[in-house]
Amino acid sequence: MKVGIVGAGSWGTAVGILLGNKGYEIKLWDRKKDLLNEINTYKENKRYLPGIKIPDNLIGEENIDKVVQDADGIVMAIPSHAVRSICKNLQNIINKDQVIISLAKGIENGTYKRMSEIIEEFYPHNPLGVLSGPSHAEEVSRNIPTTVTSSSKIKETAEFIQDMFITPEFRVYTNLDIIGVELGGAVKNIIALAAGISDGLGYGDNTKAALMTRGIAETARLGFALGAQPLTFAGLSGIGDLIVTCTSMHSRNRRAGILIGKGRTVKEALDEVQMVVEGINTTKSVYELAKIINIEMPITNELYKILYEEKPAKHAVLELMLRDKKHEIEEVAKKMW
């Protein structure tokens, strides 16, 4: 199999290593030419995955057209804000038989579209799916056992992606609820930012457990309104991804949140993390989307005020704790049954 990977960050490189170790022919593109030269010269991505050997059948390629031409599968391993521009640039290069797999987790600002919806705008006839779930690149690249979800509107496409990625160390389930899978992967970054802020403020496990539990509740509330299956959020792309992103120091969203909780500005936190923090843009999109469709998302609302209105984090926590009394699951149960 020939695979073209667009994006040589930590996740794109880790996936390239995973697929390269399966014997596939891998071409990897990134805007950073020095990074590609480093990968080809030293067989290592020292910037994002230092110490991890890159297989010889993975080649860094500066020409993005050469990466996607003739590839059986095209993996979009780029930040969510770059998906539209990359798709536009490749519009006349990708043919309708190539399978496109999105790894990006986010909701586009302004349009409120999921990543697969953006890709579908440009390639409406291509087999299209996503891969999501609790999967830090640092662990996948080291063959630490990991389990994820492959999703598509088409069963055969989800199964193609499953077969493409599955290894003894990387188990892949399928789920045809692409709306729920993508929303779970996007909104968990918002909750991870909030969990990091909680850690930065010096709060404990009780607080984080509350944020995670109520976070998955508001994620499911949003998903239900947008046509997702509620049970998806109890799976790998829902609570599974949420757990790992809220608790691990591999999580750039949690690390950024910790810095904000300690008093850094958003810009200072981003400068220190030195990687894309998807939850920042996604918070804005989801906050606005929830207002439009009239969905209550209190954690997202308070995080938006912290990030975009400079509200003190401790005041936001107090607002959450002093909200009107609520039932825990009755509203969800009524809608489901």
**pLDDT for the residue 281:** 96
Band (pLDDT 50/70/90 cuts) for residue 329 is: low
Question: What is the full DSSP assignment across 172-198?
Answer: EEEES-HHHHHHHHHHHHHHHHHHHHH
In the chain, the domains with their CATH numbers are 2-176 (3.40.50.720), 179-336 (1.10.1040.10)
CA angle 312, 315, 317 (to 5 degrees): 115
209: helix, coil or strand?
A: helix
Q: In the predicted model, is pLDDT for residue 33 greater than 70?
A: yes
Q: DSSP E strands: which ranges in 159-304?
A: 170-175
Q: List pLDDT tens digits, range 255-298.
A: 999 999 999 999 999 999 988 899 999 999 999 999 999 999 99
Pairing of strands 128-132, 146-151: antiparallel
Calculate the alpha carbon distances from 113 to 21, 118, 135, 183, 204 in Å: 34, 6, 23, 10, 35
Average pLDDT over residues 150-154: 98
Write down the mean pLDDT value for the chain.
Answer: 95
> Rounded to whole angstroms, how far apart are CA atoms 144 and 163?
19
The Cβ of residue 267 has, within 10 Å, a number of other Cβ atoms equal to 8
Percent of the chain with pLDDT over 90: 92
Question: What are the catalytic residues?
Answer: 188
C-alpha torsion sign, points 290, 114, 149, 82 = negative
Asked if pLDDT for residue 330 goes beyond 70, the answer is: no
Contact 251, 244 (CB under 8 A): yes
**What is the rounded distance in angstroms from the CA atom of residue 325 to the CA atom of residue 230?**
24
